[in-house]
Structure 1
Amino acid sequence: MRRRAALATSLAVLLLALPVAALLPAPPAGAQTGDLVATDALRVCADPANLPFSNERQEGFENRIAALVAKALDRRLDYVFFPQVQGFVRNTLRAGRCDLVMGTVAGDELMQNTNPYYHTAYVLAHRTDHPVPESLDDPAMKALKLGAIARTPPTDLLLRHGLVGNTRFFPLAVDTRHDSPGAELLQAVADGTLDAAMVWGPIAGYQARVKGLPLALRALPSEPGAARMDFRITMGVRGQEADWRRRINAVIREHQAEIDGILRDYGVPLLDAEGRLQAP
C-alpha cells in the first residue's frame, strides 16, 4: 500500500550505491518508437504484492483495468514488477522498461499524469453494528479505540482533534509480501479490538466488499489547513510523450463506465463531482 496509502508521504528507504536500473537490460530497440513506448505490447509497471491494487497473479483492480486498457489498444499486456518504494519510477518507467504506471496521484512530479479515472478518499471505517459520532470534534470520539497507519494524512486530523492518545498506529513501511497493515487494522475493527479506523478508502472498501468484513465507511473531509483527504487517481507516463498520453486519455474516456464497474467490484469508495461518497 506504500505509495497509494501514504500518497503525500515519502518512504525513507536507503538504496545501494548502484541504481537497480543500471543492472537491468534495456528494452529491445525494435519494440519501441522514438519516444520509448513499445509498439507490440502495453508494458505496465506494477507492484508484485500490493492487493487490492496489483500482484503478480494479476488479482488486483489495477491489473483488471490494465487488461482493459491493453484490450482497447489491441495489445498484449506485459508487466514489469517492482516494489513501489523509493526508486520505483526511476527503475521502471524512467528506465524505459515499461510505459504506464497505474494508480498515480494527480500532480505527481515524477511523471506526467493522464486524466483521472477515479476520485477517492481516506475513510473512517467502523463496524456496521457499532456507529460512531459523525464529527471528529464530538467528545465521544476520545472514548473510542481508534486505529490509523502511521505517517499517512489522517494523522493530521488525529492531531488537530486531540485523538492521538486513543489511537493505535500501524506501520507504513512494510514488506507487503509478508505484512498488510491496512488489512490488519481493519480486521481489528471488525473483531471489536478497535472501534474505528482511518484508512485509505480502496483498502477499506476491498476488505468490506471482497473479504466480507462487516464495515461501514464514511469519507473523511478535507479540513482547511490540514492534509488533503481526497485524491484524484491517474495513470503515469513519461514526460514528453504527449501522443501516448492522449491515447491513454482516449481509452479512459471511452471506457470510464467499465472502469467504474471494476472499481465497484472491489469496493473502491468513489466520490462524485461534489466530493460526496457515491452509493456502492
Structure 2
Amino acid sequence: MKPIQLSLAKLGLLLATSIFVMSSNAIAAEDAKDGKEPLRICAGEDELPYSNTNLEGFENRIAKVLADELGRKVEYVWWKDARYVVRDFLDKDKCDVVIGADINDPRMATTSPYYKSGYVFIYKKDKGDLGLTDWNSEYLKNPKTQIGWIPETPPEVMLVQIERFVDMFQYKAEISNYKSPRNHYIKYDPSRVVNDVLNGRVDVAVLWAPAAARYVKQSSVPLVEKLVVDNAKKSNGEKVPHQFSVSIGVRKSDTELESQLERALVKRKNDVDAILRAEGIPLLPIEKAKSVSESFVNGSKG
C-alpha cells in the first residue's frame, strides 16, 4: 500500500486548523460557563404578527429583550409546521425556548404568564354601536350577519352553539383555501380575516387579539375592536374560554433556564409591556404569578 504523504503546506494547514478548532472550543466552553451561549429560540419562519425570518414579529422583539437581559445572543431555529414544534425541535434539543406558549401546555415547563389577552369582535366603526359584548348578541344570531373567524378556535365552537356554523361553513372553506387540515398543516392568515371586514365579505370578525391587533391598528379604515366577555358556554354548561394567559416554554428538564427567564421577565416587564402595547394588543390583568420555586415543584402548568 502506498504510504500517505502530506506536504509541509498541508501539514501546516492542518496544524493551524487544529489550533483554531481547539481555540474555538475553548472560547465556546468559556462562553458557556459565563452563560453567553446563544439563546436558541423556536420560531415560525412566516408567522406574522408573531415572528418571521426578517424579525418583524412582536415575539422577535420580546426574544431580543430577554436575551439581552441574560447577556446572550438570539439564535433562531425556524419551523414551518406549528404542530411539531415541541416534539421535533424543543424535545430534540434543536432549540431551547418557545415564546408565546400556552400556560396549560402539558408538554413544556412554562414561566409565569407575561401577558393576558382575549378574543375580540372587529367591525367597521361606521356601523355604529352593534351592541356586541358576548355570543348572546342577537346581531350574531341573525342569519344575515356574516361572521369571520379562524377555524379550530373558540369562535368556531360558539358558532355551532348559536346555530350559525352551517350557514357560515363556506367562509371556513374560503379561509382554509379549500384545503382539509387532515394530515397537514394549514397556515391561517389573520390579516386576511381583518381584510374581509374591510372589503365587506364579513360584517364582523372574531379573532385572537394578539393575532389581529397589528392589522386593526394599520387599517386606513377606522375599526372597532371590543374584547369578548369571557362568559361563553356550550349547551351542556361547559365553559368555552375566550381569554388566555401567555408564557414562555422550555423543556421540562430545563429548570435553570426557566428560572433565568422568570427573573428576566420580572426585570424587563416594562420593556415587554411596551412591545405589547405598541403592537396594539389589549392587555388584561394577570392572575397572581407563580413563584420560581413553584415552577421547580410543578414542572409544568399542563
Query: What TM-score does the superposition give when structure 2 sets the normalisation length?
Result: 0.73
Q: Does 1:240 align with 2:253?
A: yes
Report matched runs for 1:50-61 at 5 Å: 50-61=47-58
**1:213 shift after superposition:** 5.0
Root-mean-square deviation (CA, aligned residues, Å) is: 2.6
1:123-143 alpha-carbon deviations (Å, 9 max, x no partner): 111112213232533333313
Cα distance in 2 for partners of 1:261, 1:78 equals 23
Counterpart mapping for 1:35-184 below 5 A: 39-130=36-127, 131-134=129-132, 135-141=134-140, 142=142, 143-167=144-168, 168-169=171-172, 170-171=175-176, 176=187, 180-184=188-192
Bigger relative CO (Cα 8 Å, ≥ 6 apart) = 2
In the alignment, structure 1 residue 260 sits paired with structure 2 residue 273: yes
Residue pair 1:145, 1:166 contacting (<8 A) in 2 also: no
The 8 Å contact of residues 112 and 237 in structure 1, kept in 2 or not, is answered as: yes
- For structure 2, the 5+ residue unaligned runs are 1-24, 288-302
Mapped pair 1:250 → 2:258: no
| Structure-2 residue corresponding to 1:193 | 201
What amino acid is the match of 2:53? Answer: E
Shift of 1:67: 0.4
Distance 1:118 1:32 in 2: 35
The number of aligned residues is 241
- Structure 1 residue runs of 5 or longer lacking an equivalent are 1-27, 275-280
| 1:227 aligned partner | 240
Say which structure is richer in helix. Answer: 2
Letter in 2 for 1:185: V
d(CA) in 2 for partners of 1:136, 1:153: 11
Tell whether the 8 Å contact from 2:245 to 2:286 is kept in structure 1 after alignment.
no
Picking from 257, 266, 269, the partner of 2:282 is 269
- Kept in 2, the 8 Å contact 1:156–1:226? The answer is no
Q: Deviations over 1:12-34 (max 9, x none)?
A: xxxxxxxxxxxxxxxx9x9589x
SS at match of 1:228: coil
Distance (whole Å) between structure 2 residues aligned to residue 114 and residue 31 of structure 1:
27
Aligned AA (1:209): K
Q: SS state of the match for residue 89, structure 1?
A: helix
What is the letter of the counterpart of residue 201 of structure 1? A
Cα distance in 1, alignment partners of residues 29 and 49 from structure 2: 31
Counterpart of 2:15 in structure 1 is none
Residue number in structure 1 paired with 2:22: none
Aligned to 2:17: none
Identity %: 28
